[in-house]
Amino acid sequence: MKSRVLRALLISALLSGVTAGAQTIGHAAPTVAAPGSGTTVASGRTAAASDSSHGYDAQALRFETHWGSADIIRGANGPVIGTVGWFRDFDMEKLVASSPQAVIEARAFKTNNFRGSLVGGLGALTLAVGTVVTANSSNNAASPILIIAGAGAMVWGAQHLNAGYSRLSRAFWWYNRDLTR
């Protein structure tokens, strides 16, 4: 009788081990709705989990904005691995390549950052020209147009730069999510 009980326990334990293992894999790559896209994406956790060097402490990214640019930092006090911002580019897609959803967001960041930098830069130039024309007291009808157009372009550019940072924040959120903890 005892041997039967033992055998039953052994079978149950074996079954639990097999099922738990299968469910670990199943939950390691859950499908979740991607924010803003309305689509579902598979996590890259399974792949990341197999590599111990991909730990959160060692690899997790964050950024610190200052004076119009952002430093990309690994860890809480880790090294600055790149700087992005006004006319400053960094290969974000390569950096977050291990997470497919992060790559999409990094691409969107790049587009927004380029547009924001270009239009914002042109706006600043137009505003400066308008200011110089006004300061020279020349009765040029174009000066108010230049100032308004320049300021408008700067605002539009700033909004795109902000939208870019929002996408960058999402990219890091996804990248860090797919790291082992």
Residues that bind other proteins (CB under 8 A): 1, 4-5, 8-9, 11-13, 15-16, 19-20, 23-24, 27-28, 30, 32-36, 56-57, 60, 62-67, 73, 75-77, 162, 165-166, 169-170, 172-173, 176-177, 181
Name the residue nearer to other proteins (CB basis): 57 or 142.
57
Name the residue nearer to other proteins (CB basis): 75 or 142.
75
Using CA atoms of 129, 132, 133, 134 in order, give the dihedral in degrees to the nearest 10.
Answer: 120
Distance from C-alpha of 50 to C-alpha of 24, rounded to nearest angstrom: 13
Name the residue nearer to other proteins (CB basis): 55 or 142.
55
Least distance (Å) from other proteins to the CB of residue 19? Answer: 6
Distance from C-alpha of 97 to C-alpha of 106, rounded to nearest angstrom: 9
Least distance (Å) from other proteins to the CB of residue 26? Answer: 9
Cβ atoms within 10 Å, residue 91: 11
Q: Which of 162, 181, 168 is nearest to 63 (CA)?
A: 168
Task: Report yes or no: 122 and 85 within 8 Å, Cβ to Cβ.
Answer: no
Least distance (Å) from other proteins to the CB of residue 46? Answer: 11
Beta bridge partner(s), residue 33: 40
Q: Coil, helix or strand for 35?
A: coil
Least distance (Å) from other proteins to the CB of residue 54? Answer: 14
Name the residue nearer to other proteins (CB basis): 88 or 181.
181
Distance from C-alpha of 154 to C-alpha of 121, rounded to nearest angstrom: 7
Return the DSSP state at 54: G
Name the residue nearer to other proteins (CB basis): 56 or 142.
56
Least distance (Å) from other proteins to the CB of residue 148? Answer: 20
